[in-house]
Structure 1
């Protein structure tokens, strides 16, 4: 990865103008596509397969008059009057006629209709007009909504002075969020942080530019995708929030590394390549963790949530690509202008050295002085902060969560005040009645029985459809749509399913907007545990791959869980209990959006892994390079703390800027992410992590050898690349060698298998490796073909440094063992047919029959006759097994000048 990114960085520097031009053209094309193909957002939330959704789909075919969206108009009489007075009934009847004529209005039910009940309250000073539409909430055009608003306004004008009318209901229960200047505050704060971090406006502006490009591209794709699939309004807001945050942070990491290298005197082109290779590797890993976590939202099996996860993952992925392509091109254009000025106090014998930041050095020494005390304090504080999360309640948003000055919210409050909260969340109980001989009586009996249940305020309507094959019962709960009592009522009616089937031969189901919300919340709650296990398991595996440790991944995962708990606790305190609710502009306390927990867990997982990688990888790097465990914590922490702090502050600022948003979906998510990032970056990663590492000491970096062998390695700090760059001119400048080896050795279980060995092999040559021990010969051949990663020494094969480029060496180098081969000639022929650059043939001394030797020599000679002859390394036993000194040796018979050199192992 790091080698590929190194080449990519050089390519971006070389073609910088073209890269910038391509991105500008791409943005223009994506923007044009979004303008041409984008459709309206669809905030309707459904889960295929749930009882409520199946019943709603069935009603669409059998009883379309009640399957679409609905609106509600409340009329409140002036003080001392009743809604049954003539000066109110006449304008209402006239309004009913007007409403019925509006496009997409299926019916407008008068409160004075004898077939319905409950539309006039007990005091008779308030009445409800129920308007049924012929489509879902987001399928109804704005023209219909405007016509409804005009009709209600005309009704209000014709009513007596002091009367009040208000329009609301399901059709107006949600507002599409809009981007405002408030969200820009986060970007401004990010700019200030970047200026303070870099001390340069030019360097500070680049992360903002790349983040804006990434956001522009991802938002264009999301908007364009509305032509092909339903996308909720929360989806682009979440993608925007994440795209800004990670786009700025990823660029910050690369630019910070680039400027550090420029300060050390590296050339611009080389610095760009190394920055992309090292910090870019960490960015790729960090981005992948966020993307995997977001795609993991599909575990819930809920279509709208899957789309949300894919869209957000797309935004993060584009941010990674922009950071690895456009950013290096911009760095190349800026050239020497980004090179920091050397301070005289930082120059020692002509080389600039960075002094450790006193604050961060003091901080890490404080938290590691008594690590156990620090750990206990952090766990206790975050544990207490997580306690409120036990009271977190979930529901789908309705008009009650809108701002108080919104008309739909005003209608919601008026209905609750005059009729009861349940009128804002009616339930529909429906089922097929095709076998009934008395559909009217049947539905009346079912309605009467349901009305007797605890928690039922009234049953306004119990009727069959026009064809008498489907019946519905409208049920008004006593409590609000998001209350526990209403949820219990839904479960109670569903628990009576078998009773209604036995008693009335009717297969009843509960549906309606409220029931759908309850089912969505339940489904999301069921998905939370498997998603959590996926995230935690993924965290353990990925971090074990990166840090080659058991303790570090466990510590990181437990820290992540503390961050999630504190985040949930903060959301519950504000949105559930009302702490600071007014200051944060929370319209109503109570349940939060159902998908909040799974979104927070997914996003925070990715971000937590970002900070873990950027902080701990520097500590591990210093430890691996010989520093003591305690010293590595100090040097690694002070080297990365400034960048991690800047990244954390930027993330918090971007997320916090969305908290004032009027969108009831994004508001709690933004707060949860802001709090979660603060806790994870500053309390968990920069306080708890160094304390745990200090407590564990050298044990923090222990991992069983068997696990180390089976796990792939992810070099996020580019150590392999650093080794390649170090050996770029080794063993000599412009040396043309197929194999160069110095001090190659292998020890297994304390026993030396391969003594230190060195060799040089020219391309196309035949080289004999011999030794008294067959194991030593085999080890040497496996090592030079990239198949022995635990061998020690300096190796370069076909231009690739081992072991970091072992996969590349294996692709160009073959290995054949003839010691146990039943068909040695066929095995060699098969290996040569793959045209390797290098072929190691082990156990050639086991080919003893003259005929087989002759055929083997012919195969090798034929392979060497090609212009691209492979380098061949022959492994054999002692000199007595294959007398290389003799003029009639096996090797000399291949070709008179084939033996360039030989090595003893």
Structure 2
């Protein structure tokens, strides 16, 4: 493989203009496809085949008016709502209700008046019944007196019969009144705990029902909703919109992400010394991201894609794109300073460092593509989009980077570095050779290998301590409480929680399937009975019948839990409601099922939790095989995987501490700590494992190369570390900076993922790969490279350390006139 990449690098450098033109065409094609065919992204995390999806499909068929999404709009007035303010709010909502994408936008004052009016009607009705009962008792007493007359005269008999008829009519009227009163009481009982105007009269919440799902709303429609309703502000009313309305997933890049890239650029300039050299990895990363994310956007027109898919592709594309090109550029610069020919140096750098890039990239691609085994469509799309972007980053590093290096020539090295090399010819190579064979082991690598037990134990214990909070990990999808404190979504969430209870932020939709052949009265009673049973579930504050299909076979109930949608108690409510379904079916004959975003979020979190063990096993298993092939060792892949598990546990612990417990919440802008993003663990496992193996390949391949060239195992650890340390440190800082830029992303869902990846890469690179791994390998010595003979015979030699390329270069150096030697033959002889 190294020899093949050597040829590829040489070809790219020789035909540089053709390679550059080809990638430019691909970039323009991806950009044009994105502009022409892009659709709308969404954060629809429904799972096909689940109860929530089946119930939603049923609503679309039986009750389309209830199948669309709903969102809340909060109005506040510090002194209570005046008539003018109520009128302004009602006018704005009426205007909104005329829009083609809106099913209904009902005034909260009108709805609350109906609820309060029903209670008043009950009181008046009860008084009327009481008065009627008194009149009926008096009439019955009078009737009894007439009955006591033994022989009633005709006039008395007529009076008796008339009074008897009047009493019978009064009794019938009383019975009807009692039935109406009972129905009204049931209606009030069902609405108990549900309000649309706060008790202090200072806040009101309007529910807007859309004709389509929230994820099908165009960004222009969302802006239209806000513009229309904000007209009420002219009357002195504060207006806050829920996350479902304000969420805009159309924009990917924000100021925070740019800061991360700027830090990466500074690191590159410091390391490489020239703007040209520093700009090259950045340019390669941008081109890779342009192609990968552009292609992803082009597919949004035909594939439903979550907003985090291009965001993850963007994060990874920038991070690995910079790092992969950096490894090749750095090797090329060292070789040029050592006096190597330009084209030969590009080819050799591609065959050696490029070989490590290829296998490192393969581990990332495997880990991301394996997300398809989760069984979640949105996660499969996310994984494949990110894997494709990483694959493009690898291809660009192996082809476009050599081509551009050929165009740049020797300007990749600063004049100062050239002058130093000219004044002291051979110094760079001599220093490198001296460092390779230095026995004392200076620097961090020397410290670690001089004190391997101490550094190994201390590092492992530190990671274990950081990982302790991971035992409390709780998963959910984010709600409005996770939004920035100055956002409309957060203020809406807080206002609802303070004035109406946290459960109003995440109502649960229950769909009931009624038996056929019921009368109108029976249907009404069945709905009340179901509502009573739903309300009996623990931590349910209200259960209200809200809709009924025309055929009276499908009923919709809105259940308000006690706590917010991401709380542990609401997850329990969802499970309890489903468990109550059997009893409700037995008692009422109505089969229920749950749907809506709150129930769907619980299902997604549960499904992801179930998929984690299998995913971890598949990713680790496949990558272990790849590492076995690369390093031809049993111990090194196991050590690499064990280190990854430590990094992963520590990352989970840090995420729980910050985003679930709220530690350092002010620093990371976490105003309302809650459950961790439900699909963060599975994405973190895939991405962090791939990136961890990147650094494992770059660090350990140098050790393998030194060992293969005859150094003893312990010294090879120091030599390999010294060769790779500088570039790995720079690469880790760059990757951490890029990920850290997403910690303050405008998309709240991306923030914990950016933190987890930044922290995970930082810990894995500096604590695991640059401390634990060299310490352990120094202790193991030659055992680290043990491989059974039978396995050594059947494993193909992928030559990750580029031994054949080195041998070819040495053979050509010995006979510079024969540049056309057969490369395979020369390498074989070497």
- The interval holding the TM-score normalised by the smaller chain is 0.7 to 0.9
Please point out which of 97, 101, 106 is paired with 1:109: 106
C-alpha distance in structure 2 between counterparts of 1:218 and 1:381, whole Å = 38
Please point out which of 442, 447, 451 is paired with 2:531: 447
Please point out which of 610, 626, 647 is paired with 2:710: 626
SS in 2 for 1:476: strand
Q: Name the stretch that deviates more: 453-462 or 111-120.
A: 111-120
Is the 8 Å Cα contact of residues 444 and 462 (structure 1) preserved in structure 2? no
Is the 8 Å Cα contact of residues 102 and 148 (structure 1) preserved in structure 2? no
Partner of 2:742: 658
Please point out which of 202, 205, 211 is paired with 2:279: 205
- Aligned positions of 1:284-363 closer than 5 A: 284-338=358-412, 340-341=417-418, 342-343=420-421, 347=425, 352-354=430-432, 356=435, 361-363=442-444
Partner of 2:212: 135
Residue by residue over 1:509-551, the C-alpha shift from the partner in whole angstroms, topping out at 9 and shown as x without a partner, is 1111100000011111111111111122223222211111121
Alpha-carbon offset, residue 94 of structure 1 = 4.3
Using structure 1 for the length normalisation, give the TM-score: 0.77
Partner of 1:482: 566
SS in 1 for 2:469: helix
Partner of 2:667: 583
Alpha-carbon offset, residue 305 of structure 1 = 0.9
Please point out which of 470, 482, 485 is paired with 1:389: 470
Q: Give the alignment's Cα RMSD to 1 decimal.
A: 2.8
C-alpha distance in structure 1 between counterparts of 2:823 and 2:323, whole Å = 38
C-alpha distance in structure 2 between counterparts of 1:78 and 1:266, whole Å = 76
Residue by residue over 1:720-752, the C-alpha shift from the partner in whole angstroms, topping out at 9 and shown as x without a partner, is 333345556999997999xxxxxxxxxxxxxxx
Q: Name the stretch that deviates more: 241-250 or 541-550.
A: 541-550
Partner of 2:263: 189
Is the 8 Å Cα contact of residues 475 and 678 (structure 2) preserved in structure 1? yes
C-alpha distance in structure 1 between counterparts of 2:816 and 2:487, whole Å = 77
Is the 8 Å Cα contact of residues 170 and 398 (structure 1) preserved in structure 2? no
Alpha-carbon offset, residue 86 of structure 1 = 5.6
Residue by residue over 1:194-248, the C-alpha shift from the partner in whole angstroms, topping out at 9 and shown as x without a partner, is 2222233322221111111111111211121112212222111211111111111
SS in 2 for 1:622: helix
C-alpha distance in structure 1 between counterparts of 2:819 and 2:288, whole Å = 43
Partner of 1:753: none
Is the 8 Å Cα contact of residues 73 and 206 (structure 2) preserved in structure 1? yes
Change (3 A) 1:95 1:190: closer
Partner of 1:713: 797
Change (3 A) 1:711 1:583: same
Residue by residue over 1:550-572, the C-alpha shift from the partner in whole angstroms, topping out at 9 and shown as x without a partner, is 21111110100111111111111
C-alpha distance in structure 2 between counterparts of 1:655 and 1:220, whole Å = 20
Asked if 1:250 is matched to 2:324, the reply is yes
Q: Name the stretch that deviates more: 662-671 or 38-47.
A: 38-47
Residue by residue over 1:429-459, the C-alpha shift from the partner in whole angstroms, topping out at 9 and shown as x without a partner, is 1132142512221111000111122100112
C-alpha distance in structure 2 between counterparts of 1:586 and 1:177, whole Å = 22
Change (3 A) 1:504 1:636: same
- Aligned positions of 1:254-269 closer than 5 A: 254-269=328-343
C-alpha distance in structure 1 between counterparts of 2:409 and 2:820, whole Å = 34
Please point out which of 204, 214, 232 is paired with 2:288: 214
Alpha-carbon offset, residue 119 of structure 1 = 2.9
C-alpha distance in structure 1 between counterparts of 2:219 and 2:266, whole Å = 41
Alpha-carbon offset, residue 121 of structure 1 = 5.2
C-alpha distance in structure 1 between counterparts of 2:452 and 2:633, whole Å = 20
Residue by residue over 1:110-153, the C-alpha shift from the partner in whole angstroms, topping out at 9 and shown as x without a partner, is 44344783234562524332211100112223454344334433
As a proportion of its length, which structure holds more helix?
A: 2
Residue by residue over 1:780-817, the C-alpha shift from the partner in whole angstroms, topping out at 9 and shown as x without a partner, is xxxxxxxxxxxxxxxx999475499xxxxxxxxxxxxx
Alpha-carbon offset, residue 28 of structure 1 = 2.3
Partner of 1:419: 500
Change (3 A) 1:735 1:284: closer
Q: Relative contact order (C-alpha < 8 Å, sep 6+): which is higher?
A: 2
Partner of 2:166: none
Is the 8 Å Cα contact of residues 545 and 555 (structure 2) preserved in structure 1? no
Is the 8 Å Cα contact of residues 96 and 109 (structure 1) preserved in structure 2? yes
Is the 8 Å Cα contact of residues 77 and 164 (structure 1) preserved in structure 2? yes
C-alpha distance in structure 1 between counterparts of 2:819 and 2:543, whole Å = 91
C-alpha distance in structure 2 between counterparts of 1:628 and 1:283, whole Å = 26
Change (3 A) 1:714 1:350: closer
Partner of 1:574: 658
SS in 2 for 1:496: helix
Asked if 1:403 is matched to 2:484, the reply is yes
Is the 8 Å Cα contact of residues 263 and 352 (structure 1) preserved in structure 2? no
Residue by residue over 1:326-382, the C-alpha shift from the partner in whole angstroms, topping out at 9 and shown as x without a partner, is 111111112233365354896569965435399982322221223222211111000
C-alpha distance in structure 2 between counterparts of 1:457 and 1:735, whole Å = 83
SS in 2 for 1:428: strand
Partner of 1:44: 44
SS in 2 for 1:74: strand
C-alpha distance in structure 2 between counterparts of 1:798 and 1:417, whole Å = 75
Partner of 1:670: 754
Q: What count of residue pairs does the alignment treat as equivalent?
A: 740
Is the 8 Å Cα contact of residues 360 and 641 (structure 1) preserved in structure 2? no
Using structure 2 for the length normalisation, give the TM-score: 0.84
Change (3 A) 1:655 1:501: same
C-alpha distance in structure 2 between counterparts of 1:595 and 1:532, whole Å = 14
Is the 8 Å Cα contact of residues 429 and 472 (structure 1) preserved in structure 2? yes
C-alpha distance in structure 1 between counterparts of 2:448 and 2:823, whole Å = 46
SS in 2 for 1:135: coil
Partner of 1:810: none
Residue by residue over 1:54-95, the C-alpha shift from the partner in whole angstroms, topping out at 9 and shown as x without a partner, is 21122111122222111223344543x5x6x86665555545
Partner of 1:848: none
Q: Name the stretch that deviates more: 147-156 or 245-254.
A: 147-156
C-alpha distance in structure 2 between counterparts of 1:134 and 1:602, whole Å = 38
Partner of 1:99: 96
SS in 2 for 1:457: strand
SS in 2 for 1:107: strand
Is the 8 Å Cα contact of residues 811 and 826 (structure 2) preserved in structure 1? no
Residue by residue over 1:636-666, the C-alpha shift from the partner in whole angstroms, topping out at 9 and shown as x without a partner, is 1111111111111111111111212121111
C-alpha distance in structure 1 between counterparts of 2:221 and 2:718, whole Å = 66
C-alpha distance in structure 2 between counterparts of 1:350 and 1:475, whole Å = 73
Change (3 A) 1:572 1:110: same
Is the 8 Å Cα contact of residues 447 and 462 (structure 1) preserved in structure 2? no
C-alpha distance in structure 1 between counterparts of 2:575 and 2:195, whole Å = 26
As a proportion of its length, which structure holds more strand?
A: 1
C-alpha distance in structure 2 between counterparts of 1:347 and 1:353, whole Å = 11
Partner of 1:866: none
Is the 8 Å Cα contact of residues 174 and 398 (structure 1) preserved in structure 2? no
Alpha-carbon offset, residue 614 of structure 1 = 0.6
Asked if 1:119 is matched to 2:198, the reply is no
Change (3 A) 1:655 1:405: same
Alpha-carbon offset, residue 266 of structure 1 = 1.6
Is the 8 Å Cα contact of residues 805 and 827 (structure 2) preserved in structure 1? no
- Aligned positions of 1:4-153 closer than 5 A: 4-76=4-76, 78-79=78-79, 81=80, 90-91=87-88, 93-111=90-108, 112-113=110-111, 114=114, 117=191, 118-120=194-196, 123=199, 125=201, 126-153=203-230
C-alpha distance in structure 1 between counterparts of 2:318 and 2:28, whole Å = 19
Change (3 A) 1:273 1:431: same
Asked if 1:431 is matched to 2:505, the reply is no
